[in-house]
Amino acid sequence: MMQPFRIAVPQDALDDLHRRLATTRWPNEIPGLGWSRGVPLGYLKELAEYWRTEYDWRAAETRLNAYPQYTTEIDGTSVHYLHVRSPEPDAVPLLLTHGWPGSVAEFLDIIGPLSDPRGHGDPTAPAFHLVIPSLPGYGFSGPTREAGWNLFRIAKAWSELMGRLGYDHYVPQGGDFGSVVALILGQIDRPHVLGVHVNMLVAGPSSEDPAELDGLSESDLARLACVPQFRQDGSGYMKIQSTRPQTLAYGLTDSPVGQLAWIIEKFREWTDSAELPEDAVSRDRLLTNATIYWLTATAGSSAALYLETAALLPIADPPPAPNPPSDVPIGVAVYPRDTFLPVRRFAERDYTNIVQWSEFDRGGHFAAMEVPDLFVSDIRSFRRALSGQADRAVAEGVESLVAGA
């Protein structure tokens, strides 16, 4: 049963948020260290005050509610999703999956251009029906009420969701955790998956044999060097979320400033920002994303996805995505300030049917928010690549029939 859903946060929840922001107990800070030990005190104070006095949740709520939303129960949990059907008769279903610390708000700027290109000034561009779910335990799909919601279970739920919506074929797309979910769907729902598009792919050497690095360019070697640097300096959030998410949840669920700091640090580190996160993503959009986590009290259940996945993937290190069957067409978009940047040689070894590889000169981990123009263009290009593959397959089939005759 698909139940229509509309976001309607009670005013007393917003009043409580503002009260907590006004009475925050602030820590001390050693001056002059910038972001080297986390979010600077002065910056966070100013951002929290903006959140309290100027940010307009009701405007964000209206923007989100402009699109049809629903909830449905799948495998014992309530799943929230946006479902935006295109007016174009040849539109292809596109399933967009976010990761941590993201939300469905990531995709607000790309919904119109992808679903209604004609209405956005490009009548010749491919069109898509969009299905944009909140991950179980995240935002309006949370919190989850039982253990076991790992990435494979989520992929199975998404397959069920697309079937319930009546889509016989579709394209999964994702970044962060969403990229792994999309690749898993290429395995478990192959008859219905036209192709998989990801804007994060982890691909590196399969061993410590130095010979694997022979012939790599300086830029590829630099990409590989980022992995040990991340393990040393950037993976603290991952280690605590994959081991003790419940302990973390108490602080983040009780303190909006704590929740904001935990999220905003990642937007600063993982985006193409010059100095501040809002250099890459607007301040209001950053706060909409953080407010969704706060209002739904999903700090703990969203963090728990790391623990649930730790049993299946070694996520203390960059997680290797499962290899899909070789006949699944894959599109890879590489943005220069993403968390991990794949080395193409290793990606093509692990994923043998990459039909599109795009390298961009701007953008980062949250591409749909940072560079929606590039994101939309690459999705459209991938759709065309899939159409070209289908045309070639038909032509090859005809040639085989002629040869057989």
Provide the CA 331 distance to its chain's centre, in angstroms. 15
Place of tokens 């005759």: 405
**Is residue 350 among the annotated active site residues?**
no
- Establish whether 176 is a catalytic residue: yes
Could you tell me which residues come within 8 angstroms of residue 160 by beta carbon, excluding any fewer than 6 positions away? 74, 75
Q: Determine which one of 81, 306, 335, 351 is catalytic.
A: 306
C-alpha dihedral, 293 to 299 to 301 to 304, nearest 10°: 130
Answer yes or no: are the C-beta atoms of 171 and 332 closer than 8 Å: no
Q: Which of the following is catalytic: 109, 176, 220, 338?
A: 176
SS3 373: helix
CB atoms within 10 A of CB 16: 14
Q: Respond yes or no: is residue 391 known to be catalytic.
A: no
Query: What is the Cα–Cα distance from 208 to 254, expressed in whole angstroms?
Result: 44
User: Considering only CA atoms, which of 96, 98, 99, 102 is closest in space to residue 83?
Assistant: 96
- Rounded Cα–Cα distance for residues 397 and 288 (Å): 50
Which helix H or strand E contains 230, and what residues bound it?
none
The answer for residues whose C-beta is within 8 angstroms of residue 183's C-beta and 6 or more apart is 196, 198, 321, 322, 324, 330
| Residues whose CB falls within 8 Å of the CB of residue 397, separated by 6 or more in sequence, listed in order | none
Instruction: Select from 150, 381, 106 the least CA-distant residue to 267.
Output: 106
How far, in Å, are 73, 111, 133, 148 from residue 104 at the CA level?
18, 11, 7, 22
Give the three-class secondary structure for 69.
Answer: strand
Cα separations in angstroms, 224 against 104, 131, 338:
31, 34, 13
Contact present, 366 and 175 (Cβ < 8 Å): yes
Just list the catalytic residues.
176, 306, 365
